[in-house]
Amino acid sequence: MVDDNVDFCATIADIIGDLGWQSHQCYSPEDALSYLEQHFRAVSMMLLDIEFTTSSLSGIDVLAHVGRAYPAIPVIMISGKGTIENAVKATKLGAVNFIEKSLLSHARLKEVLISAIERVQIKSDNQEIYRIIESQGIVGKSKAMMAVADKILRYGKTDLNVLVTGETGTGKKLVAQALHSVSRRGKYPFVTVDIPNIPRELFQSELFGHVKGAFSGALETKKGLFHQANKGTLFMDEIGDLPIELQANLLLPIEERTIRRVGSVEQESVDLRFVSATDRELLEAIKNNKFREQLYHRLRECEIQIPPLRERREDIPFIVERYVHKHNTERGETKVISAAAIEYLQEHTWPGNVRELVSATRVALQTVTDDSVEVADLHRIISTERYDETAVDGARQFAISAERTLRDDIARADRMKIEATLERCKGNVSKASALLGVSRETLHNKIRRYGINTHDFRSK
């Protein structure tokens, strides 16, 4: 609760206590921001006044900061001077409710709090699941990621082999590690087999080991990765890249948990669990005779498919928050990423998924000198557009001509860039100006100079 009226805070604290919740009171915006910096993970909801007589900051200022830095915290605005303008502004900044003190009875306050708490409690049902996956570096509270987390817990408690599928950069190895962590094998080794980087001629030796003298260079008996993972988990990363002529070598070891070292005639038993990952369509590979169906069924007793980031954009603020907090903690800084910049990140398609988002966030936090990272900063980092009109509609081309002046070519490229950005923003000049890193007035002047009609882009 953030309010400079001590008596009002005490009244709210009593009601919250009756509902079985704990509360903390802050009597100024500065105290609230300081408290959040240390304890934001423990805060389930914030009640925030608008007017503060002893501070230059308003509740709206605090709300805007919370929306940027702690987007997971729901905020209820409470004001003694409620206006339509403030209500609209608070709603746009993400407040879940806006109520006036003058209209607030004890019963009404209790009703508002219960409604908000119920909303929070729905989210809290998944907190235990979320806590477990977050400890493994997996961030996301979307319905899709909660489904992934549920499978991690259910499959992790079994000894069934799990196939983890998803695009590059979605976090398949993190899911594999989480499966291991929640399993009965968690205190034993988690061993990764980097399939693409094992030479074909050494595949069996690397996985199953060899005896001394088994081949040229085998100067001593060696244990393989299967031995190293005994009692734990063997994670075969990029299993779809394994050449089909080597795949048969895995059938018996996976089926019977027995191996034979290269050069040996003795069978050895191993106790391990197999988790595999791939970004390839294995069923398609089976149809094309590039993957053995028998191996597929042995590896895929259960499957966890990780959705691409573009299908769970609501997780982006949480992922960004984690890395902003990590950056600030490590470097002793107070960087934030603006609300508009978060929206920009949510609009990006992220072909490289979480890995690409994290990389862009880290670069922005370490290279932008201001405390706040804005849309233009991120655009410069992640933009892949070119001064080539094929990026706009795939039909036109831009070519430097010796018959035109340098000024003409620069103007032509300038116009093409503006048109490409307007098309991307569907004619929204404010948004386009932010992406281009120029003021709205400058962009309007260029639009007039080049005779561009913004209405042409609004229907696209």
**CATH code of the domain containing 187:** 3.40.50.300
Are 18 and 103 contained in the same domain? Answer: yes
Are 266 and 154 contained in the same domain? Answer: yes
**Do 168 and 359 meet the contact criterion of CB atoms below 8 Å apart?**
no
Last residue of a domain, one of 323, 348, 382: 382
Rg (CA), the chain: 29
Distance CA 386, CA 384 (A): 7
Distance CA 107, CA 103 (A): 11
Last residue of a domain, one of 382, 411, 426: 382
**Do 120 and 80 meet the contact criterion of CB atoms below 8 Å apart?**
no
**Do 30 and 57 meet the contact criterion of CB atoms below 8 Å apart?**
yes
Distance CA 149, CA 163 (A): 15
Q: What angle do CA 122, 88, 116 make, to 5 degrees?
A: 20
Q: State residue 78 phi and psi, 5-degree precision.
A: -125, 125
Q: Write out pLDDT tens, residues 70-93.
A: 777 888 888 876 566 777 777 777
**CATH code of the domain containing 440:** 1.10.10
Q: Write out pLDDT tens, residues 214-248.
A: 887 778 888 999 999 999 999 999 999 999 999 99
Q: Write out pLDDT tens, residues 251-296.
A: 999 999 999 999 888 999 999 999 999 999 999 999 999 999 999 9
Cα–Cα distances (Å) from 329 to 38, 324, 366, 372, in that order, read 11, 9, 13, 16
C-alpha 195 chain-centroid distance: 26
At 8 the three-state DSSP class reads helix
**CATH code of the domain containing 325:** 1.10.8.60
Are 138 and 228 contained in the same domain? Answer: yes
Are 281 and 336 contained in the same domain? Answer: no
Neighbouring residues of 334: CB distance < 8 A, sequence distance ≥ 6: 328, 371
pLDDT at 400: 54
Distance CA 436, CA 74 (A): 32
At 99 the three-state DSSP class reads strand
**Do 15 and 110 meet the contact criterion of CB atoms below 8 Å apart?**
yes
Percent of the chain surpassing pLDDT 90: 39
Are 149 and 264 contained in the same domain? Answer: yes
Last residue of a domain, one of 338, 353, 382: 382
Are 186 and 262 contained in the same domain? Answer: yes
Nearest to 361 by CA among 390, 328, 386, 394: 328
Q: Domain of 261?
A: 130-305
Average pLDDT, the chain: 84
By CB neighbour count within 10 A (0-12 exposed, 13-18 middle, 19+ buried), where does 192 fall? middle
Lowest average pLDDT, out of 135-144, 207-216, 322-331, 399-408, goes to: 399-408
One-letter amino acid at 296 equals Y
Q: Write out pLDDT tens, residues 102-159.
A: 766 777 777 777 777 666 655 555 566 677 677 778 888 888 888 898 899 889 989 9
Q: State residue 222 phi and psi, 5-degree precision.
A: -130, 140
Nearest to 8 by CA among 67, 115, 80: 80
Are 314 and 404 contained in the same domain? Answer: no
**Do 291 and 332 meet the contact criterion of CB atoms below 8 Å apart?**
no
- Cα end-to-end distance, the chain, whole Å: 46
